[in-house]
Structure 1
Amino acid sequence: MIDKPDIATLLASVLADEGGAVTPPIVQTSLFSFDSYAAFEARMAGESDTALYTRVQNPTVAAFESLMAGAEEGDAAVGFASGMAAISSTVLAFIKPFDRIACVEHVYPDTYRFFEQILRPMGVEIQYHSASAFESDPDLLDGVAVAYLESPSSVVFAPLNLPRVAEHARRHGTLTMIDNSWASPVFQRPITLGIDIVLHSASKYISGHSDTVAGVVVSSRAHIARIRDLTLPLLGAKLAPFEAFLLTRGLRTLNARMMLHKATADLFVDRLGQVPQVRKVNSPGANTVPGLSGRSGLMSIEFDDSVDIPAFSDALRLFRLGVSWGGFESLLLPARVGLAQAGAHNSMQTFGVSPNLVRLNLGLENAEDLWADFQAALSASLT
């Protein structure tokens, strides 16, 4: 759980600058004007940080960014219109043609497509490695510009020993980036473990309500300044004031929500171990790797061949079928749906995900009701 800094305390410190408002106001404007030529000139010359244009700067967005920087124990943060905007804008700010990227296997599918369909044709070399390779090979990152990480990884949720990977990266001068959407800053703070840049699909646990698409990046002031100066204004994928307002609302309840997700996930992990049709449960828990203090509500299960996956999916009543996660609602994503996705560069196919695997997003409904729904659907799907 969050001990230092506490998100509620951070929120209060931001609100102290907003005239006592309980909620940061939505500053819904595209443009900020100036009272004098001198003030305008100073801002354009970089001698002032007065708000100029919402594509690059907005008070509502700045309040959210300040909260996220504090929650991840970074120096600064920058918000984006989506998780993929955060990922692509951050990577593009730090790589150039002929650079090498070392990426963890089972990376988020759209990150994989971005690497393969955008970066590789630009001359960037991308190599994919297992979590164990990142940990065990001290020279894996020799000559690598960027190590792109997820801990745990997508779909199969393989965790990483981040302090060890960070140590390897420092030895070779490699910049480390990690998608921390699964754990949130409640259960993992990669910057404190030696990682340089932390990214979130804020659409997930940070929002927590399935009503916002957004992303955010936290790092040192120098790294965030580079992103702000280069890719944020020129690619234009800015975070809007209303979305920032919703994300600040989500941060108010992040700790409480994550604890409930964890409790339900712990219940499922304990009981799934007794289900004969379950071959494997992918859900790293507290202390699986250094710095991980709890499991979130996103996990995957591999069934044996006795389970009819389509029948199981259709028999569920509380779990809905969908691709996202992190909100109130519980969701199911069968891997065979992902394996069948049309188009080139299917990461599930590339990394050999089992067609018997299903991903569960355990929401905030009653845990016993979710378990009863799961059991009933499983019983109805046995062949």
Structure 2
Amino acid sequence: MDISHIINELGEDRSLYFNAVAPPIVQASNFVFDTFDDLRKAFEDEDSAYLYSRGKNPTIEILRKKLAALDGAEDALVFNSGASAIFAAVLANVKSGDHIVSVDKPYSWAWRMFDNLLPRFNVTTTYIDGTKIENFENAIRPETRIIYLESPNSNTFELQDLEAVARLAREKGIITICDNSYSSPLQQKPIALGIDMALQSATKYIGGHSDTVAGVLTGKKDMLNKIFNEQLLNNGSIISPFNAWLILRGLRTLPVRLAHIKNSTEKVVAYLKNHPTIERVIFPFDEDFPQIDLAKKQMTSACGLLTIVLKTDSYNNIETFTYSLKHFLVAVSWGGHESLILPQAAGIGPELFDPNKEQHRMARVYIGLEDADFLISDLEQALTVL
């Protein structure tokens, strides 16, 4: 299915809403039924009719169709955050006594669920280096129900061989879940590589404007129907119609934004790699990246997120450099119009800072929609403090 059709036309029957070019925000909590039979059918399956916006809503339904098609999946669910999507996907597939294999250092709210919440219900997790398929093979137990992936991750960008992991999991009857937030559906399609469920933070590239929070989960219809009826309806973690409309708006410009960000990022990476104060640049499509061949095999490109390792032994120098930047905002997340920086040292504190640990000298950089030369000039003046 052509991406232009998906983004601009799929799911949009304008005759239903006064031929408006943009779909309306159906800001309704509940819906009217003309017959007992229609009402009965809605009670039997809330995803088959508009009953109550805690479950299904016309604005959200348009978004679901587009996101499923972008991922090449049978269905999609949209949640009020990426963390909600993770929680629902995992909770739907474990019970007491089950075991999860997860890549090491996953997204913080996945990690907190694995370590703090699930053990209360006798569900355990083993963390592994996901860059080697044998580590998955060695970690699997008879009670393993989920393999949780994040490829690339959002800090040092380690990848997993998604086809190989999916093949192994199918042989063992294990569900695979992959966080695809780094790449977006335009740069990597885990479903096509055999993964059962793909999830991502729609707050990032899909929304694209840093003004709404959302999460997406895609996969087979029967699995997502189960999650809809159990986790989503029970947790009430559906996205609001207004936020769904904002995500639809963001989708319209997704290919153009990603193309611009990709080109700018490549220029910034080339500049940083030759700067005397930068020890290392970590970026999945850089030729020096350890997994460059795998990245090119399963991703079409990499976009705006990279990490730099600063040449300094001073915590104060890192702080001074960070706040010398005039056009990079100091903030978490990525995928919006604005460029960002997030130094690891800020989460460590001066008393624990160790310059011998490379991680302590890392700063994650996100390249937004500003012109590349504009951003390079800002980096140049700020790096002089080092």
TM over 0.5: yes
Q: Which residue of 1 aligns with 2:275?
A: 275
Q: Deviation at 1:125?
A: 0.8
Q: Which residue of 2 aligns with 1:31?
A: 30
Q: Which residue of 2 aligns with 1:322?
A: 331
- SS at the partner of 2:203? coil
**In structure 2, what is the Cα distance between the partners aligned to 1:39 and 1:53?**
14
**In structure 2, what is the Cα distance between the partners aligned to 1:306 and 1:367?**
29
- Whether the 8 Å contact between 2:331 and 2:341 is mirrored in structure 1 is yes
Q: Which residue of 2 aligns with 1:344?
A: none
Q: Which residue of 2 aligns with 1:332?
A: 341
Aligned AA (1:357): M
- Whether the 8 Å contact between 2:29 and 2:53 is mirrored in structure 1 is yes
- Whether the 8 Å contact between 1:10 and 1:70 is mirrored in structure 2 is no
- SS at the partner of 2:376? helix
**In structure 2, what is the Cα distance between the partners aligned to 1:48 and 1:375?**
53
Give unpaired runs (5+ residues) of structure 2.
286-291
**In structure 2, what is the Cα distance between the partners aligned to 1:194 and 1:353?**
35
Q: Which residue of 2 aligns with 1:345?
A: none
Answering whether residue 11 of structure 2 is matched by residue 14 of structure 1, we say: yes
Which whole-Å deviations, capped at 9, do the CAs of 1:82-123 have from their partners, x for residues lacking one? 111111111111111221111111311122112211112321
Change (3 A) 1:301 1:22: same
Which of 302, 305, 312 is residue 309 of structure 2 equivalent to? 302
Answering whether residue 92 of structure 2 is matched by residue 93 of structure 1, we say: yes
- Whether the 8 Å contact between 1:188 and 1:293 is mirrored in structure 2 is yes
**In structure 2, what is the Cα distance between the partners aligned to 1:279 and 1:63?**
46
- Report the TM-score, using the length of structure 2 for normalisation: 0.90
Change (3 A) 1:298 1:42: same
- Whether the 8 Å contact between 1:329 and 1:365 is mirrored in structure 2 is yes
Q: Which residue of 2 aligns with 1:254?
A: 254
**In structure 2, what is the Cα distance between the partners aligned to 1:188 and 1:246?**
23
Answering whether residue 148 of structure 2 is matched by residue 148 of structure 1, we say: yes
- Whether the 8 Å contact between 2:97 and 2:123 is mirrored in structure 1 is yes
**In structure 2, what is the Cα distance between the partners aligned to 1:125 and 1:102?**
9
Q: Deviation at 1:287?
A: 5.3
Q: Which residue of 1 aligns with 2:161?
A: 161
Aligned AA (1:292): M
Which stretch of structure 1 is more off in the superposition, 332-341 or 221-230? 332-341
Q: Deviation at 1:210?
A: 0.2
Aligned AA (1:78): L
Give unpaired runs (5+ residues) of structure 1.
342-348
Change (3 A) 1:170 1:38: closer
Q: Deviation at 1:251?
A: 0.8
Change (3 A) 1:235 1:157: same
- SS at the partner of 1:62? helix
**How many aligned residue pairs are there?**
369
**In structure 2, what is the Cα distance between the partners aligned to 1:68 and 1:84?**
18
User: How well do the aligned residues superpose, as a CA RMSD in angstroms?
Assistant: 2.1
State how 1:117-136 maps to structure 2 within 5 Å: 117-134=116-133
- Whether the 8 Å contact between 2:81 and 2:215 is mirrored in structure 1 is yes
Which stretch of structure 1 is more off in the superposition, 270-279 or 359-368? 270-279
